[in-house]
Structures are given as C-alpha cells and as structure tokens.
Amino acid sequence: MLTTPLIRSLKKTNLKLEIHFLLREEYQDMLINNPYISNLITIKREDSSSNTKDILSQNKYDFVVDLQNNLRSRNLTSQLNYPKVRFRKLSWQKFLLVKFKINKLKAAPPIPVRYASALGNFTLDDEGLDLFTKNNPSDKLNRLTNLIGFCPGSRHYTKMWPNEYYIELGKKLIDNNFNIVLFGGRDDKIICQKISSELSKCINLSNDNDILQTAADMKMCKAIICNDSGLMHAACAVKVLVIAIFGSTIKEFGFTPYHCKNLILENKSLTCRPCSHIGKSSCPKGHFKCMKEITPQLVYNGLVQFLNHQ
C-alpha cells in the first residue's frame, strides 16, 4: 500500500506509461482495483526465482524498480537484463538506532517518499495512499452513527496496545454515545472477540483478511484507533482520521500515517525505544512501559480533541 503514491505519480507523468507490478498473491487485493497499474503479476510464496523470471521475460521492460530490496528480489532482478534501481532500506542506520540508540534517521522521509527516491529526484503528488474498493459497507453498520473503529491487532506483541486498554477505552466511548467497530484479519479474530465480548455497543467486523471489505467499512467511521500496523495504512488510504499508538517502534523508521489527518501517541520518555524496527514477541525489559503508560484516558482525550478540531 505504501507503494501506491509512487505508482500513481509515475502514471501521471505519462498516461501512456505501462506499469506492471509483481507481488505475492496474498497481497493482491490491495492493488487489484488500482487504475494506475496496467498488469498485476502475482506469484506464490513457494515459486522459484527462475519461474518468476520466465513470467517476467514474456514482457520487454524499459526499466525495473525493486522496491523490496531483499535477497529474493535482488536475486530475481539481477537475472533481468533491463536497467534497474533499488530502494535503499537504510539497514545500517536502523541497526545503529535499535542497538546503540544512535539516531541517523532524524531527517529520513516517510517510506513512500523513500520509495520515490529510488528514482532520483522524482517528486510525489500530495494525494496520499490509495486503496480502491468496490465493496459496500456491511449491513451491520446501517443506521449507526458516531462510529469509532478499533484495530487492536499487529504482527508483533510489542506493537499492540493492551486488550484491556481497548476495552476500557471502548466502555468510556460507549458511555459518551459512540459505537465501536472492531477491525482485524484472520490472526486478529481472537483478540477482537475478547474485546467485543466486554463491550455493549460493539460490532466485530474482523474477517479472513478481506482488506477490500474492511476498507469499505472503515469509511463509515469518524476515526480509527490503531496500532502501528497494516490496517493503520488502510485507514489512511480511505482518508479516515487516524489515531496511531506506537509502542516499540518509532516514527523515524518511516512507517507513519502518510498524508492523512492523524495523531500519533507514543511514550517519548523511554530510553529503551526502539527495541526493534519491526517489533518483538515480548518486552525485552519486562515492563512494557512503551504501551502501558499510554493510558485509555490519554487516548480518549486525544480522540476528543482531535474530533473537536476537525
């Protein structure tokens, strides 16, 4: 999803430009309706580089942009005899920041801008992320107002605001005439069920990774409260107000809400942040203060002030 500003901005430079985009099939829904992509090429996780190369060799490309820049993508693109550029991951800078708290990323732009920098001085437009869905909102949301979305899941524990905090915040919002909508994918269903079972006015819309339905439903919300996760970017893409709670990760890594109205809540007083650039399965210090000291009352106050200034 973070590649979509580059895709759109490139297409706008020349409407005759053909953009082919290669990605794993489990992520295709994020780009399947994107009008700026001429050909969406999907592969399976188990597909070999040689097989993928054969697929790509059916087309003659003028230029190849590697926005992944990992071992697999480098191996694949090195086999293609076309001019190519690669996204700079700044791995050394991230290592210094995580291990030694030496911050060389203070001036680093957001990831979408860094993707564009692979093309030199190419400038993005100001339209933010794209996520095109043709789905209608869930019938469960009919006639409901004052909807606030919760996205309580994340791939790693240290990026997840505690379930009990979401429950406490949900109860306070319900007491103040809001309705709660829970969003999540297949891995978030248990978390969403635990939270929804404790809340009276709550709709649980966690699903089997149907990002297009989630996007359609998110549009019905006044705001989305989320962790540093993929659904945070989905909320940005559909132009909903975003309140993002950052725990073990920090803004300098570049994965912040991009070009949408947002409020980032984080505990800046800790010297142990960041403990990882992707998140961990447990708090290395055992106290988890990066999340636990961001209280439900603090998030509630931030939300109310945020809504009042829109």
Relative orientation angle of helices 296-308 and 163-175, to the nearest 10 degrees:
50
Position 210 pLDDT exceeds 90: yes
How many Å apart are CA 199 and CA 182, to the nearest integer? 11
* pLDDT-wise least confident of 37-51, 134-148, 160-174, 266-280: 37-51
Q: Which residues contact 51 (CB under 8 A, 6 or more apart)?
A: 43
The model's pTM is 0.95
Q: Parallel, antiparallel, or unpaired for β 241-246 and 223-227?
A: parallel
How many Å apart are CA 216 and CA 279, to the nearest integer? 28
What pLDDT does 185 receive? 97
Q: What element of type H or E holds 296?
A: helix 296-308
Q: Give Cα 211 distance to the centre of its chain.
A: 11
Long-range contacts of 205-208 (CB under 8 A, 24+ apart): 205/138, 205/140, 205/181, 206/182
Domains of the chain with bracketed CATH: 4-117 (no CATH), 141-308 (3.40.50.2000)
For every residue of 238-291, DSSP letters joined together read TT-EEEEEESSS-GGGS-S--SS-EEEEE-TT-SS--S-SS--SS-TTS--HHH
Mean of the per-residue pLDDT values of the chain: 96
What pLDDT does 7 receive? 99
What pLDDT does 30 receive? 98
Position 48 pLDDT exceeds 90: no
Task: Give mean pLDDT, residues 233-262.
Answer: 98
What pLDDT does 310 receive? 79
Position 46 pLDDT exceeds 90: no
What pLDDT does 57 receive? 87
Q: Which residues contact 275 (CB under 8 A, 6 or more apart)?
A: 98, 158, 248, 283, 284, 285
* pLDDT-wise least confident of 51-65, 181-195, 241-255: 51-65
What pLDDT does 120 receive? 94
